[in-house]
Structure 1
Amino acid sequence: MAIDEDSARAKRMPRLPQGPPKRTEIEQYESADTAQVAEDQASREEGGRKVIATGSGKRRKSSHDPPMTTTARTLPLLVCSIGNPGSTYANTLHSAGHTVVNSLAAHLGKEREFGNGLISRPAISGSTGDWTLWQSTSYMNESGKGLKAAFAAWSKHISVGEEGRVVVIYDELEKPLGSVTVRTNQGASARGHNGLKSILKLMRDVPFARIGIGIGRPVSRESNEVARYVLKKMTPPEKEKIDGSVEEVVKKLQQLERG
């Protein structure tokens, strides 16, 4: 039986694959190189920064891009001064904390709006956060009671989950007149200061920062002389130095509100 040569040849030929032919490995790399060259050509200088356009339309970060910056969140502050109340003790060295907070309120454009020692609450112009100014209306050795009540009232205005910070401004014997000292160590001693003793006794579970305003000290270390010194009215030069500490106090408060 004769075999058809054309049919036999067709059976011996391999079957061709269906669809478009696969690219060889070399062709794939050549294609990738071509795409990269095209992408590199699409890179351009824009506004002094190198912007690279990718095939997906997304912007790819360049090494020339400036670093991204984020605004740090600040803490609300309850800024408290302690001293002795009334005109009799106003502007005495022992009430230097009150003098500073009065100057601070004026410096920041705050006006007294509430009773019980509270000075208006809205965020202070020039500050990066929210400061509440408060003055104790109690005598120095009873400072803790009033501050505890003020803290409870202030805490109600703090958002749930938000952390606030208490700052106590007080007079500091031994330190140079008008100097500003910050202490954040919760285990620090009251150093004989009756106002701080009262606060530490009644607010054991409430951490607070301290800003001491230096008031110097008399030559004599006799207790009667020291008492007479701290309870005397400031002289004009002394008050000028105490008032002049406000700008430094503002800087310290801005540091404290950043945590």
Structure 2
Amino acid sequence: MFLIVGLGNPERKYEGTRHNVGFEAIDVISKKYGIEVNQKEQKGLVGKGMINGYKVILVKPQTYMNLSGECVAPLADYYDVDPETELVVISDDVSLSTGNIRVRKKGSAGGHNGLKNIIALLGSNVFPRIRVGVGECTDGDMVSHVLGRYDAEDRERVDASMEKVLGAVELFLAGELDAAMNKYNVKEKLD
């Protein structure tokens, strides 16, 4: 059983914002594999199904970004998921250019409050994550940046990045995280 978690904020007003790129990734995956994400479980919306022969649970935490761990940690515990090998978290990253992705096996939260809360409640930073670039905050107002929407050009870049995210998830499920890192990681400065 694998948990594939996309981070975001619930409520319609956050749809299409930079912070909700994880939710968008879950929507793309659910559409491709016909997995409806509509069951309420452990403070999240979940959908259970199969991807390339692997049992998966797609997850959209409904706790708001900063409390994402309140959904992820109980689900990992309930389904006896090993975070190192059976959990992947998809989130936005302001350190990456819009539309680029970065796959990592573990690491710090990099200033991302959703990841910070997951790390705190799992008690470990050793879990795979796929970070989707949403561009750097240039005016110093990080909240407005991550809760803001893309211009048309950046929207196209993010939409195009979803194929890379999907490919990285498929490689993760096959136990080929190194291959995903080699194929999709860009050479950009990170934390």
TM bin (shorter chain): 0.7 to 0.9
What's the counterpart of residue 135 of structure 1?
A: 60
Amino acid at match of 1:112: V
Matched position secondary structure for 1:91: coil
Change (3 A) 1:107 1:235: farther
Higher mean displacement: 82-91 or 192-201: 82-91
Higher mean displacement: 110-119 or 243-252: 110-119
Moved over 4 A (4+): none
* 1:1-259 map, 5 Å: 76-116=1-41, 117-124=44-51, 127-155=52-80, 165-185=86-106, 188-205=107-124, 207-220=126-139, 222=140, 225-259=141-175
CA contact (8 A) 2:69 2:122 kept: yes
1-structure distance, mates of 2:45, 2:150: 24
Structure 2-normalised TM-score? 0.79
Shift of 1:206: 7.7
Structure 1-normalised TM-score? 0.60
Shift of 1:152: 2.5
Larger radius of gyration: 1
Shift of 1:236: 4.3
Shift of 1:113: 4.2
1-structure distance, mates of 2:174, 2:29: 19
Structure 1: tracts of 5 or more residues without a match = 1-75
Report the number of matched residues.
172
Matched position secondary structure for 1:80: strand
Measured against aligned partners, the alpha-carbon deviations of 1:89-140 in whole angstroms (never above 9, x if no partner) come to 121101111111112211222223412434321213xx24222210010111
2-structure distance, mates of 1:246, 1:191: 22
Q: Which has the higher contact order (CA 8 A, sep 6+)?
A: 2
What's the counterpart of residue 52 of structure 1?
A: none
> Which one has the bigger helix percentage?
2
> Which one has the bigger strand percentage?
2
1-structure distance, mates of 2:53, 2:165: 15
Shift of 1:164: 5.5
Amino acid at match of 2:28: S
